[in-house]
Structure 1
């Protein structure tokens, strides 16, 4: 009886549904969507589901308090729902290994065509995960310009990024130079030791991941650690 009572309370109390994870469910049913709306989560994980653009558009328009959205492994055909004016002010967005997301698609998310004011919804972004995407400098320019509060950025396995990309990310006047505390560049195959001189500019960095960056030597990483107050540096 006690277990039944706890279960009923959990169903009724929205505070116990601050995070909803449907990532283990391949198919998102209408019943699941209705349940999400009733519980009004702050964090929603739809990674690797087959949610459609229509479903996602319907969903985000009814979740004004949503702050964290995970769409890892989803396709651009559904992710593009975020271009709508009804998208809530997100503080974190996870698009790791999303299908069909490149520089042009990121631009649509940040600055939807004909909807210039919509860019404001990304100005509170604090955490952005773009691992495994075919993106390059144009995306970094958008991040720098339109996400002034970004503290965590995952660019791991973005193999089009170069040392010049890191120079851009840490240049004088770029917001990310002074806000980034965590940066994941693991598996970025085109990076070399030269990127370290640019990474030294990051004034608030506490965690840096360079694992799998074959062009960055171990000795160079060790020298980098000794010179800076980075709390955690992963390298191989």
Structure 2
């Protein structure tokens, strides 16, 4: 017999089986389906027979509610006996009616009120507390007493007019003490007649009650020199003083002086800005003028007194003064090293020669005798102060006083003034 063919050895077969077991089993990735294919394969959900019956019964159970027809749609007038009330219709519900006629139709269609019901106001008038809370003025009847009531209930012999004459001879310090006596005197002395000027210079700190008392008295002149007032306080105070004519702001910073730019202080006649360190030519020009487009119109056209002593200004400042203050009477440019004969020449070449009555150049070292010769053009000049001017001689002052058309005298070496005027008046 022929020997049978032998297969591969057993070891090789075992090794092949081990390798097959150790090899990882790779899975074939499934193909991604598109949206269209996935939608096609989705099978519709079959509803239960109960749900199908309910679905069929839905259109049978629904009922369309009929719209109620109102009286307006029936073109019937509304009467108080009808229970139905006409609904509010917008303007576009009836396109046939013109828009201008709809308010008239609405007035005709509104029901008439029942005569038995009393008329009640829609909104009651605000109470007195609400009026004061919202800033409304509540009129109060002011009754001025003519007599002072004594402790026993009797009236004093002197009347109010007699007391007012007595108070007119007292200085402000004594008036303040009299105001603490009683309420009647407080009311009488608070009259603006007794307070033409209020002096708060070197006063500080200034409280709101102080400002309210100033507004209550309505003075004509207020002195705030070297006080501790703030910009907000000054902005609040000045517009509330319509009768103010003179204000003194000496030694205050420029940001507080900027409150003069308000529209309610254009009636000022005298402004005192002496010894303001940060005041320059540009600041003074902005103070005296208000820009309106391309033109500059003067704010203080009727200004009569401008005191700029000790301010750091150049000789070009006189051009702004001539332009914006054509009716100036008193000009103080003392203690300024930049003032010279060109300033005097500009003054004498302008319209200020017709209005100036008082000029102060004391402490200006560059003003010479030529200025005295040019100042003869001024018509109403009655006060010239050249004290502490090294370039001006006493002989030039004497010649000016004798040749001027008005009677003038010389005191304190270089002060020229009329003989009837007190030297120490500001």
Same fold (TM over 0.5): yes
* Aligned position for 2:371: 195
Which runs of structure 2 are paired with 1:95-110 in the superposition (5 Å)? 95-110=273-288
Alpha-carbon distance in 2 for matches of 1:135, 1:73: 15
* Aligned position for 2:81: none
* Aligned position for 2:408: 231
Alpha-carbon distance in 2 for matches of 1:99, 1:225: 35
Q: State the Cα distance separating 1:12 from its structure 2 match.
A: 2.6
Is 1:135 aligned with 2:313? yes
Contact 1:64-1:88 at 8 Å conserved across structures: no
Alpha-carbon distance in 2 for matches of 1:58, 1:233: 45
- Larger deviation, residues 161-170 vs 118-127: 118-127
Equivalent residue for 2:256, pick from 72, 78, 83: 78
Q: State the Cα distance separating 1:212 from its structure 2 match.
A: 0.6
Alpha-carbon distance in 1 for matches of 2:222, 2:258: 17
Contact 1:42-1:68 at 8 Å conserved across structures: yes
* Aligned position for 2:233: 55
Q: Structure 1's 62 and 232: CA in aligned 2 closer, same or farther, altered over 3 A? A: farther
Q: Secondary structure at the match of 2:268?
A: coil
* Aligned position for 1:186: 362
Is 1:167 aligned with 2:345? yes
Question: With CA pairs under 8 Å and 6+ residues apart, which has the higher RCO, 1 or 2?
Answer: 1
Q: State the Cα distance separating 1:114 from its structure 2 match.
A: 5.0
Q: Structure 1's 199 and 184: CA in aligned 2 closer, same or farther, altered over 3 A? A: same
Q: Secondary structure at the match of 1:104?
A: helix
Q: Structure 1's 88 and 39: CA in aligned 2 closer, same or farther, altered over 3 A? A: farther
**1:3-52 Cα shifts (integer Å, max 9, x gaps):** 42585145431221221110131332222111111211111110111222
Q: State the Cα distance separating 1:138 from its structure 2 match.
A: 2.8
TM-score, normalised to structure 2, is 0.51
Is 1:215 aligned with 2:391? yes
Alpha-carbon distance in 1 for matches of 2:230, 2:196: 23
Q: Secondary structure at the match of 1:200?
A: helix
Q: State the Cα distance separating 1:88 from its structure 2 match.
A: 3.6
Alpha-carbon distance in 2 for matches of 1:91, 1:186: 23
Tell me, which stretches of 5 or more residues in structure 1 are unaligned? none
Alpha-carbon distance in 2 for matches of 1:189, 1:51: 34
Q: Secondary structure at the match of 2:219?
A: coil
Q: State the Cα distance separating 1:205 from its structure 2 match.
A: 0.3
Q: Structure 1's 165 and 136: CA in aligned 2 closer, same or farther, altered over 3 A? A: same
Q: Structure 1's 178 and 158: CA in aligned 2 closer, same or farther, altered over 3 A? A: same
Alpha-carbon distance in 1 for matches of 2:195, 2:241: 13
Q: State the Cα distance separating 1:134 from its structure 2 match.
A: 1.2
Give the aligned CA root-mean-square deviation in angstroms: 2.3
Tell me, which stretches of 5 or more residues in structure 2 are unaligned? 1-149, 151-162, 164-177, 415-426
Which runs of structure 2 are paired with 1:149-168 in the superposition (5 Å)? 149-168=327-346
Q: Structure 1's 99 and 55: CA in aligned 2 closer, same or farther, altered over 3 A? A: farther
Q: Structure 1's 57 and 119: CA in aligned 2 closer, same or farther, altered over 3 A? A: farther
- Larger deviation, residues 61-70 vs 112-121: 112-121
Q: State the Cα distance separating 1:117 from its structure 2 match.
A: 8.8
Q: Which has the higher helix share?
A: 1
- Larger deviation, residues 137-146 vs 60-69: 137-146
Q: State the Cα distance separating 1:120 from its structure 2 match.
A: 4.2
Alpha-carbon distance in 2 for matches of 1:116, 1:155: 29
